Amino acid sequence: MYPLRRNRRLRTSEAVRSLVRETIISPNDFIVPLFVVEGKGIKEEIASMPNYFRFSLDLLEQEVKELWKMGLKSVLIFVKVPDNLKDNAGTEALNAEGLMQRAIKIVKNAVPEMLVMTDVALDPYSSFGHDGVVADGKIINDDTTAILTEMSLSHAKAGADFIAPSDMMDGRIFEIRSLLEDEGFHDTGIMSYSAKYASAFYGPFRDALDSAPGFGDKKTYQMDPANREEAIRETLMDIEEGADIVMVKPGLCYLDIVRDIKEAVTVPVAVYQVSGEYAMIKAASEKGWLDHDAVMMEQLTAIKRAGANMIASYFAKDAVKLLS
């Protein structure tokens, strides 16, 4: 007999499609990256990230209020540090009155319920544009970790809810967790960039923060895109060391890794859909080659379907506007 099963029955109308849909994107899924600069009245577009901006603190305040109204409840803060404050020891990163520390307070003050996550890595502060301390052309792991640990404490003191180390040094989650506990910051969470690849998709982000490496590349600390099992090893270690949320980064090219990790762990998994992924969609749609909204939603859905419990994405506002 002709097939009893016809899979197309479940696709005949939007009503039935929405009934059987397995993956739903909502405002709850997003973490919104925010780029912050010194100054006043600044909202400047990032050249390689159309319709994405750096904000000075006064305008950041308005932006987070708007995000909250849209139902976006988590932000991830990055700062663009003036060149004259960059060195090889992350000195400015530990300044209690530094741009990051002020930004945390501004956001918490503007919207106290907003979940504030902060980037922890030395690259925006580094005269070499590297995520750690440099000596003899090498990135020194343990010296870097010692600074990242103090940096994390400084963010926690300023009011950060989650610390997000994006540096890929070994052992930093353990050191950060230990210091936070010793200092009484029991509720400050850690979202670890656990499987962060040495990707060419970070280019526009480095434009945004003027943080491109001055020499070499990041392959001695970020992961080789060719590796899969190593991602699980990295992630399990970060969980043992105390990470509350783990992350895979970038998104689209690494969805096999997202699925592997989702199946290997029982903590929430975040995915960072990175700047290059954003730029590709913007550029192709500007040329009229791709349908911006459709491609954006397809990619976000694919990331969530692969196993992401949350997505850090520059599309958060665009997506939420489209959903409402």
Task: List contacts with ligand PBG (CB under 6 A).
Answer: 119, 121, 123, 131, 166-167, 202, 205-206, 218, 274-275
- Shortest spacing between CB 173 and ligand PBG, in angstroms: 15
Measured from each CB, the residue nearest to ligand PBG is 205
- Shortest spacing between CB 50 and ligand PBG, in angstroms: 14
| Residue 319 DSSP SS3 | helix
The residue among 177 and 196 lying less far from ligand PBG, judged by its C-beta, is: 196
The residue among 206 and 259 lying less far from ligand PBG, judged by its C-beta, is: 206
Helix segments in 83-242, DSSP class H = 99-110, 141-158, 172-182, 203-209, 229-241
Residue 169 corresponds to which tokens in the numbers above? 């040094």
Write phi, then psi, for 15 (nearest 5 degrees): -60, -50
Residue 183 corresponds to which tokens in the numbers above? 């200092």
Secondary structure of 136-148 as H, E, C letters: CCEEEHHHHHHHH
> Out of 86, 196, 262, 304, which one is annotated catalytic?
196
- Shortest spacing between CB 218 and ligand PBG, in angstroms: 6
Tell me how far apart the terminal alpha carbons of the chain are, to the nearest angstrom.
46
| Residue 315 DSSP SS3 | coil
Residue 176 corresponds to which tokens in the numbers above? 């950060």
The residue among 59 and 117 lying less far from ligand PBG, judged by its C-beta, is: 117
Task: Find how far residue 242's CA is from the centre of its chain.
Answer: 19
Is 218 known to be catalytic? no
Residue 309 corresponds to which tokens in the numbers above? 């419990």
- Contact predicate 120/90, CB 8 Å: no
Task: Find how far residue 47's CA is from the centre of its chain.
Answer: 20
The residue among 235 and 275 lying less far from ligand PBG, judged by its C-beta, is: 275
The residue among 167 and 260 lying less far from ligand PBG, judged by its C-beta, is: 167
The residue among 123 and 241 lying less far from ligand PBG, judged by its C-beta, is: 123
Q: Which residues contact 288 (CB under 8 A, 6 or more apart)?
A: none
Residue 153 corresponds to which tokens in the numbers above? 């404490």
Task: Find how far residue 252's CA is from the centre of its chain.
Answer: 14
- Shortest spacing between CB 112 and ligand PBG, in angstroms: 26
- Shortest spacing between CB 119 and ligand PBG, in angstroms: 6
- Shortest spacing between CB 257 and ligand PBG, in angstroms: 16
Is 196 known to be catalytic? yes
> Out of 218, 249, 262, 282, which one is annotated catalytic?
249
Instruction: Please list the active-site residues.
Output: 196, 249
